[in-house]
Amino acid sequence: MLAATRDRFTSRPLAAARFVAQRGLLKAVVWSVTDVTVLGRECLKDVEDAYVVAANHTSHLDAPLILGALPRRLARYLAAGAAADYFFDVRWRRGLTALFCNAFPVDRTGVNPRGVSAKTLLNRGVPLLIFPEGTRSRDGSPGTFKPGAAALASSAGVPVLPAAIIGAHAAHPRGSKWPKRGRQPVGVVFGEPLTALPGESAGAFTERIRSAIVKLAEENSHRILGSNAISPDVAAPEGDHS
């Protein structure tokens, strides 16, 4: 349950405004410029309250794809980690990121800690979207996962929802200003929730999360990319094109 104290992360009016921004604007744009497939939403049917979504990171499309693919009940208060040195460096970008993604700053330098922490949010019942690689992949392939997401979920006793994002690097590679023309195929595949095992270290849990995401990609990339499945992007029962 969300903590009784309300702020921008848990405000009901702001959640309603985000619904309009995310579904009426952000999702509408992303779904119109790419061909999106969502798989594995049935794996989320028993998920409630706080959780951590962990996904591979290949493109600026990643967060919008996750936010648009999740059922509304799970996306309502989801807070996405965003690089403090980029998304929070200027006022207009900070405002848009907060509006569309309910974002909290993630400091990648370690020398300028911010007031809002992922641990505080999770302990208050706010679900989190975290990209364990910490930055976008340069070639679309999954990199090393940092243990932060696993450690947070383990300490708070909440599940991790593994999500494989497929095709986003090819559709909107790092350095590009806009997705490629032609509605490139992209997709999100959700897996079964994972919880830390008794005595399992954050490092071991992290590797289990990464392995689950890679496996989701390997097993489902052809269903999303078709003949383009040789893509290095990390790519569930029958899904939906939505």
CATH of the domain at 202: 3.40.1130.10
Mean pLDDT, rounded, for 76-102: 70
What domain count does the chain have? 1
- Rounded to two decimals, what is the model's pTM? 0.84
- Domain span at residue 163 reads 12-241
Instruction: Look at residue 233 and tell me whether its pLDDT is greater than 90.
Output: no
* Contact present, 59 and 184 (Cβ < 8 Å): no
Please give the residue that has the higher pLDDT: either 227 or 217: 217
Per the domain annotation, does 55 fall within a domain? yes
Residues 6+ apart with CB under 8 A from 217: 56, 142, 164, 166, 189, 233, 234, 235
Please give the residue that has the higher pLDDT: either 7 or 192: 192
Please give the residue that has the higher pLDDT: either 14 or 161: 161
Per the domain annotation, does 4 fall within a domain? no
Sign of CA dihedral 137, 209, 151, 22: positive
pLDDT at 74: 94
Per the domain annotation, does 35 fall within a domain? yes
Per the domain annotation, does 40 fall within a domain? yes
Cβ neighbourhood burial of 182 (10 Å; 0-12, 13-18, 19+): exposed
Please give the residue that has the higher pLDDT: either 134 or 221: 221
pLDDT at 5: 62
Per the domain annotation, does 5 fall within a domain? no
**What separation in angstroms does the CA of 242 have from each of 36, 100, 212?**
6, 19, 24
Categorize the per-residue pLDDT at 86 as very low, low, confident or very high, splitting at 50, 70 and 90: low
Per the domain annotation, does 7 fall within a domain? no
Categorize the per-residue pLDDT at 96 as very low, low, confident or very high, splitting at 50, 70 and 90: low
pLDDT at 112: 44
Instruction: Look at residue 180 and tell me whether its pLDDT is greater than 80.
Output: yes
* Ordered strands of the 128-130 beta sheet: 104-106, 79-83, 128-130, 52-55, 160-166, 184-190, 34-39, 240-241
Per the domain annotation, does 43 fall within a domain? yes
